[in-house]
Amino acid sequence: MIDSILDKMTIEEQVSLLSGADFWTTVPVERLDVPKIKVTDGPNGARGAGSLVGGVKATCFPVAIALGATWNPDLVERMGVALAQQAKSKGAAVLLAPTVNIHRSGLNGRNFECYSEDPMLTAELAVAYIKGVQSQGIAATIKHFAGNESEIERQTMSSDIDERTLREIYFPPFEQAVRRAGVMAVMSSYNRLNGTYTSEHAWLLTKVLREEWGFDGIVMSDWFGSHSTAETINAGLDLEMPGPARDRGEKLVAAVREGRVEAATVRAAARRILLLLERVGAFEKKPDLTEQAVDLPEDRALIRRLGAEGAVLLKNDGVLPLAKTSLDRIAVIGPNAASARVMGGGSAQIAAHYTVSPLEGIRAALSNANSVSHAVGCRHNRLIEVAKGKITVEYFKGRGCRGTPLHVETVDKGEFFWFELPSGELDPANFSARMTMQFVPEESGDHVFGMTNAGLARLFVDGRLTVDGHDGWTRGENYFGTANDEQRGTVALDAGKAHAVTVEYDPPVATGEGINLTAIRFGVEKPLGEADIEDAVETALNADVALLFVGRDGEWDTEGLDLPDMRLPGRQEELIERVAAINANTVVVLQTGGPVEMPWLGKVRAVLQIWYPGQEMGNAVADVLFGDVEPGGRLPQTFPKALADNSAMTGDPAVYPGKDGHVRYAEGVFVGYRHHDTRAVEPLFAFGFGLGYTRFNWGEPRLSASEMGAEGVTISVDLTNIGDRAGSELVQLYVRSPKSRVERPDKELRAFAKLSLPPGETGTAEMRILPRDLAYFDIEAGAFRAEPGDYQLIVAANAADIRFVIDLPSPLDYLLPPSHQATSLIA
């Protein structure tokens, strides 16, 4: 059928398929009954085509690093199935997820959106996620291919990575997604790879992805991430997003006529687009693009379970789990206590059906909610707290908010990210909006108003210009680098008195270069100070236990910028120290999208890392704190003692964050625990570390063969839960290689198994490795090579907790060309 359609298409119609119609849909060819389909952002939800911060409500699942911490592919596959149903509820046929870039620096703004520092763990979870999504007829899109491990100058930066490092660290999740999961779509990254934009990188998109790995799906650009006509199509980029066409359309038709692009190249790309439509069932049933809010009880239960399964108990001297019946006074303190920080920022954001804060979850878990007291202590927000309440928005034709508004609506939050305007009569490049609200402060005193805008805007308080986001506007870090840095103004306000707040907004003038977005965010807050920390200390003073909810939020952990350091922002470290000094039972609950330094670690009794675990966050954390379930998570990323201990932090700006448009991955394959183990750099918490509420006995490992053969070796380990509670244990299998012609890491993760057992029960963890699991990538041979020699299998609870070391001879020289699954034996 597909070839029949192609035969009937003009070159113009074939070309039309190779660009989006708009921000979220493909181009139909109505003459031939070729429908359009919708794509939607993931990876922790399915947002639909609405605003990045609004639109139809959606189910909010845990972020990727929280999934990485579960080490549970089966559960992640179940989430993929649920996400596919959410995509269908938004009329979408393609989910733009998962993200599988590697945790390189610890400072990447999208660290939270990626699974792990380890390619094997990342690959296992990505394969499970994709299988779940695609089992329901929804296409998954693995991203960002490749070398996007930082947000700094990401649209132009060249990630300079040698081929061995690419093959061993950064490619495996993509490769396994193609070979094992049959992923239907791949998204190229914004950055350049070794000097060439990935969207026009023929070696990357054609030789490696298609010819070596056998990928037969579509390659799409990241949004506004393609920069040429002939170069992209010839390299293997099928779909330019978003639409309408910028470098395709008539430009591509002309390139064909001029001989710069072969007509067969266009046909092949168009064929892959049609094949995608066929795979998602678009020809069988015309897609219904209607969006609905579907909130299912089974999704709620899954999110709650995932939240606990990914919660990592980093320290516990016996204070956890808390006994509900013996606690008369519980202090719940910190900037993340009463606020539900359920997701990171950027394109992963969705409008969740609801959110449960830790304070709400804890109170709901107790029969006497009055035993819980609360104090915020300090703030950690990067931006002024967003305005909330009844906000009237008037939309006008043309700039300057002149005349009669064309459309009027009421919203409850002072943040707008317009993918689509509320009326088709409004021109995205030539409209304006006026937002008005009444702000009634609870306390008298100075209040700070803040605003950041992609476009031009002014904020007035009681008719006086307070924040100027118009005159002298320059690009900053917000909204993916399209908005200015937040501008602020201070006004003395009286408690209980209504103050008129007005914001007038004009869209940016399109430059035709890079991303152009229309967005604005404004807010107001009364600064917290010493009295607020003292109030938190007083709240904790006579409590049986002080629960400190600290960390970051989606303003820090966000697409578009990297973190400035690995410290807790604001006065949170001081808050922890002062509370711990007066309450001996202080428990710190962390919410970050990656590692954080902990100078206060020795002063608290327990530390629980819960990441951003989705809309059921408060319930999930209460489940863990009170022992209704165990903390099932293990770290998917090494937590260094200090930022300088990270392998990318050499002090050379060319290595991080980049210099003169290039960032050099000088550490090569020595990323994460590979660096810490090989270079003898002791971490704060090792890769794979995590405590539980029970104890396990490990039996001696058993091997299915005494040496490596072409069929591989299976390793079995019996585990017995010798505690009095149900719990889980993670068995990690590393390979240590003999001396080689290239330097190799001390050990590399090659398999793992996670068992959940009731008290007294025994189970068997089984793991299998193949010759490639012994291999490194041999540049000269252009293949993975496992040299003959005596290898060691390391059975461990985490990278620093080795339980058994087993010798495994491998008598043959294995050569595994990347274009073949078969193993070649070299005499």
- Active-site positions? 222
Q: Are 99 and 110 in contact (CB under 8 A)?
A: yes
Q: Which residues partner with 239 through β-bridges?
A: 220
The residue with tokens 């439509």 is: 277
Q: Which residues partner with 397 through β-bridges?
A: 431
DSSP state of 82: H
CA distance 315 to 302: 26
Q: Where does residue 825 rank: exposed (0-12), middle (13-18), buried (19+ CB within 10 A)?
A: exposed
Find the helix or strand (DSSP H, E) in which 733 lies: strand 727-736
Biggest CA–CA distance in the chain, Å, is 86
| Alpha carbons within 13 A on the beta-carbon side of 419 | 19
Q: Which amino acid is residue 609, in one-letter code?
A: Q
Q: What angle do CA 197, 202, 206 make, to 5 degrees?
A: 130
CA distance 38 to 631: 38
Among positive and negative, which fits the CA dihedral 380, 386, 387, 388? negative
**3-state per-residue secondary structure call for 347-403:** HHCCCECCCCCHHHHHHHHCCCHHHEEEECCCCCCCCCCECEEEEEEEEEECCCCCC
Structure tokens at 92: 């979408």
Paired sense of beta strands 762-769 and 415-417, if any? unpaired
Provide the strand spans (E) within 78-211: 94-96, 139-145, 158-160, 185-188, 192-193, 196-197
User: How many CB atoms lie under 10 A from the CB of residue 206?
Assistant: 17
| Alpha carbons within 13 A on the beta-carbon side of 822 | 3
Paired sense of beta strands 407-413 and 388-397, if any? antiparallel
What is the distance, to the nearest Å, from the Cα of residue 557 to the centroid of all Cα atoms in its chain? 9
User: How many CB atoms lie under 10 A from the CB of residue 296?
Assistant: 14
